[in-house]
A and B are shown apart, each in its own frame.
Chain A
Amino acid sequence: MSMMADHQGNSLFARIMNSNMAYSFKRNPVAIVSMAIFLIITLAAVFAPLIAPTDPYDPSLYDILDSELPPAWTNQGDPKFLFGTDDQGRDLWSAILYGTRTSLIIGICAVFVQAFLGISIGLISGYVGGRIDNILMRFADIQLSFSTLMVAIIFLAVSQALFGSETFNKYALFMLVGVIGIAEWPQYARTVRATVLAEKKKEYVDSARVLGFSSIRIMVRHILPNSLSPIFVISTVQVANAIISEASLSFLGLGMPVSQPSLGSLISSGFDYIFSGSWWITTIPGVVLVVLVLVINLLGDWMRDVLNPKLYKG
């Protein structure tokens, strides 16, 4: 009877706080710390225009005379520039805030593209089976046999040459989202297909068919909600992977332009000066990137443990 009362009167928030996930979260210090850091980074990124002292996208705001100033806490540091400046005199703290925002947007949007493609293809492949399954999965195999970076480098390099640097820089964000999204869908498709294969043998699927539901309805409304836990888990890992891919591509000069830097292009722009002693231009964005990816992966680990209680935790 108490179960019933829980469902009736309480708000959504109370139900979330009562859930198994919240319970395990409150008892897992690693998850709490990771979540806290992730939230701080995300909030700082979202509110970058409010927090940042200057607009790093506006070249008229920086002075070449301020170039390569070390962080504020060192001897030659200028208190105006918390993390120092880059080679053009741009405030690194502002650039990092904006760069984190760009990196997160690309990471999350690319994962949405991956998830959409991968889940649709995986569902169809697993549910329909037979020849269609074979064709789709062989596509996935072919896709997986090229490394993400190789596909992305070829595609981005060709389009950079085709459209010219200027147009490319204008649409770099969309190109990166598209290319990282398309290059990694097989991860989702394979995971979803495997779960669908297990789920479709269960009797509730038979009973849905007996009740006269269409295949699409059975896939989307009955099988998909039962396959969500592995999707959540790979989504976190994939966000981290997408951020790294973006950073790698930008580092290679195929990503975000230096005028609108992401974390990767900041690291790359500082790399030229690292031997002249300006270590902060590369190191500080690098640390932010590592911390961001690490906490996302730790959250993913925690989520996998919660959502898959059968997993052996040694």
Chain B
Amino acid sequence: MNFFQRALKNVTRKLSKSMLLALTFFVIGNFVIVGLGISNAAEQAKVLTRKKMRAAITYQMDYDAFYEYVQNLPEDEQQDAYNHYPYITTDEIEALMADDRLSSINALTTLTAWPMDFEAVPLNNEYEQRENGSSMSCYIDENGQEVCEEYVWIEPEIFIKANAYPNMIEFADEMFVMVEGEMFSQEEIDDAAHVCLITDTMAEYNNLSVGDTIEISFESPADFNSSFNSWYQDLGITEEDVKMELEVIGIFNNMTEVDPTAENFEWMSKMESPENVVLMPDSVYAEYQYNLSSISWDYYKEMWPDDEYYQNDDNRPTMDSILSKTSVTLLLHDPLEVDNFVEEVEATLEGQFRELNANNETFKQLARPLDTLTLFASLIVGLVLINAVVIITLVTALTLKTREYEIGVLLSQGVSKLKVVGQFFVELAIVAIIGFTLSVGSGTMIAGKVGEEMLQYQVEFAGLEQTENEDEDHYIGNWNDSYFTEISLEDMVSEYKVDISPLIIGEIYAAGLGIVLISILIPSFMIMRYNPKKILMSAQ
């Protein structure tokens, strides 16, 4: 007849008292489950929505802050400050990349180009019929004669994403999926290897495969044959100088789809088509750009011998200045790490005209009703737990008072105080477990109903309307450099589901057993601080 057996006998032989206590625990359990259930569902909805949002962070120059800073400088220093425009340097980017939380990075230069020995994938829309053409332009020359010339324009047809690093966000996030070959390596980037990746549709359309070479031009071929654009001729840049041969080392599938029924489809140009995206190392374009800029610099230096800016070689373009960026996009492995990452990096950027944007404001604004719900639910849980401790302690104290005699008898038999407490704990724990177990079902149901009603009320109270995400369904072109996934309140609310997980049930049992222990210990101590004789005398 150990303390556990005695506890079982007491529970089963004093059934009405046990049932009443179980009912008390059942009611408390319901309140706790409602509170924890709502709180957990709200937190989960936020977590799931945050996970749905891409863990993208834009690290960018804060030129507003820079301009404000320059405006406050003495006038004679302002021009010098403008001449030393701040940019995000390669070293800076590499320092960010050292963080383990980072999955991939886009330090991109985006540009358009013209295909020379292959064709862009057609869209077969109305714009395509009009994109290239010519017009006659007439003027009166110095002899008073009217001269008419044809001005030809050819639209760029391919869109180039030149990344400074091989681990591009598009591949990490499966917006691009490699079909054949591979992404350019860091070594190829460092060596400015003339390599590229093209889409599978472009490859198929032109019967291209890995190992083939394509030729592109960074300037319109028409510009070299027109007297309207004599700039290249003045600089001595030929048509061949703006062309580049690139070896196809990879073919990828661009998962972005164009909706031919979308309103803007008819006016979309070929270069906006996801099929006409070409990837290449940023260093290759930077090298090309450096050569062009150097020629241009020398030209203007010679043309304007009195210009202070061009005469100062410190202002001459360098590879580093060309490779520098105004914005880079970082993708983290875990969306839940975004806030911490932003906070940590921001702390190191004081006075450096740099800022981070994680699209948090939208998320925080949308999460407001859920935050209110969490706060309310946490308050319920807190109040219920405090009340539960008080109520159960009182009930237990009253129950134990009626059992003073039994405590005295047990102690007079040499039963240790620990075993006496153990017996009462087991008794109360049994009824608590029964009460809490029954409350799991009803509490889940109540939490679901109450939570939904309250969330609806909060949504209306916050003045936020549940709108469809309009940007989600159609493509807005390769120019969109935002990697943020737009979310709507509906997205977040749809994630709100009260699901009483084993963890919550475990928490309820742990909290319940904690309450039981506290409520046993306090009155037990009050009674058992006396010796058995006093306890027995007090009970008689």
Q: Do A and B come from one complex?
A: no
- Give chain B's interface residues, CB within 8 Å of chain A: none
- Give chain A's interface residues, CB within 8 Å of chain B: none
